[in-house]
Amino acid sequence: MTEQKNTQAAGMAFMGMIFFLFGFVTTFNITLADKFKAVFELSNFQAQLVNGAFFFTYFLLSFACGSIIKKIGYKAGVIFGLILVAVGSFLFYPAAKVLSFPFFLFAIFVMASGVVFLQVAANPYVTALGPSETASGRLNLTQALNSIATYLAPLIASVFVFKAASNALTPADAAKSVPTPFLIIGIIVLIIAVVIYFLKLPVIPTQGEEKKSVWKYPHVILGAVGIFFYVGAEVGTAAMLQRYFQEALHMLRSDAAKMIALYWGGAMVGRFYGSFMLSNVEKSKKYIYAALVVALALFVGWFVRRQITDGLIFAGIAVINYLAIQLGRGKAARSLAVFGIIAALLLFVVMGLNGSWLLWAGLSVGFFNSIMFPNIFALGVDGLDKGELSMASGLINTLIVGGAIVPVLMGLIADGMGVKFAFILPIICYLYIVFFALVGSKHK
């Protein structure tokens, strides 16, 4: 029993590292959309092609990745994914040399191909490392580690990319600030791949007696659609908030990118809540953990602009987030529905407010995005045989393509009607997620 627990702990530590890595890479790319808009003088629609190139890769490769991982195993799939991430990272250097937007998109596509392998392998691996009733809690924990990376990525981008580019005299000079962080990422990723190759990790079976095709499980298909709308809403909202802060609040591009870190920081805080609120942790310990998370929120809110007021506001929102998750009563579906309703309402508020109220209402959406991916995924694969997990994961991750389609459509709306009207689209996405939580996740 002790050996099994140690093996599972090693597996979770390994997964935490992988989730951190692809969270950083994903959010760093999302943040760059606004940078490319300035360098290449793009429209909102064209700038969102950065997100399009990244997330469309999920549509092209996820299901194929599920089939490949089923044959080669999760560990080999992760190593191959890491190598692709490294190759894509290194391609940013020649792309900056020739100053080609299509070349940058190709580099993003290659990097995203590696992230797809990591994502398809990682989620079912975590669900299989323990009982199904606590799968949502484990996924929330690894997603919380993912969110630490998504919080740090915009801060690093604001310093190493946006501020460096602000002093550039030409687009070519501005583009030179882009490759350096990716070269560092590529080197780190290769080192991690080598270390993982020599690590002894728990083996999760990829073969099993399939009861029926995953296409015949309605909750799997509806869960995949839920992932489409969730990722589209999360990515599109982050990108448009960054633009909207510049337009409505007259923020500098680097300052807007920095504040978006709090949007992702809210997701991190909410996922830490989910990691113990949706698990079998003792009730008395949950209060202690909640207090620690509020303290973390205070620090995270203060750290971005070094203002105690920001920290107190952010911690206050964290308390509201904790109270909201109580409404879920420890149930994944109920908690998902509550958070979907609140996220939609917050975007209605963003469309009608100005000043600091607009800023904090927009950033608060991140808190209520927090448990959506792990809960939708856990509900979508609930009840499946372990041999069916890789194929179900491939199907669900295919529809992460929502991160390509929804932001691009939001860019079209922003160009035609104004940035704030683009938030209508993610509101619709969150309403579907409420439907999935209350109706679509039921087994039929």
The residue segments making up the domain with residue 318 are: 2-199+211-440
DSSP-assigned letter for residue 100: -
CA distances from 386 to 92, 141, 403 (A): 38, 21, 27
CB-CB neighbours of 242 under 10 Å: 24
Total domain count, the chain: 1
Residue 258 lies in a domain: yes
What is d(CA 78, CA 87) in angstroms, rounded to the nearest whole number? 14
Residue 205 lies in a domain: no
**CATH number of the domain bearing residue 70:** 1.20.1250.20
Residue 204 lies in a domain: no
Residue 206 lies in a domain: no
The helix-helix angle for 2-39 and 101-128 (nearest 10°) equals 160
Torsions phi, psi for 275 (to 5 deg)? -65, -30
Residue 28 lies in a domain: yes
DSSP-assigned letter for residue 205: P
Give the 3-state secondary structure percentages of the chain, helix then strand then coil, rounded to 5: 85, 0, 15
Residue 243 lies in a domain: yes
Residue 165 lies in a domain: yes
**pLDDT, tens digit only, all 444 positions of the chain:** 555 566 667 777 777 788 888 788 887 777 777 667 777 777 777 777 777 788 888 888 887 887 788 788 878 888 899 999 999 999 988 888 888 888 888 988 999 899 888 887 777 777 777 776 666 677 777 777 777 887 787 777 766 665 555 555 455 565 566 677 888 888 988 988 888 888 776 676 665 544 456 778 888 999 999 999 999 999 899 989 988 998 888 888 778 878 988 998 898 898 888 878 767 777 778 889 899 999 999 999 999 889 999 999 999 999 999 999 889 877 889 999 999 999 999 999 999 888 788 999 999 999 999 889 888 988 988 877 766 776 787 788 789 889 889 988 998 999 889 899 999 999 999 999 999 999 988 876
CA 213 to chain centre: 28
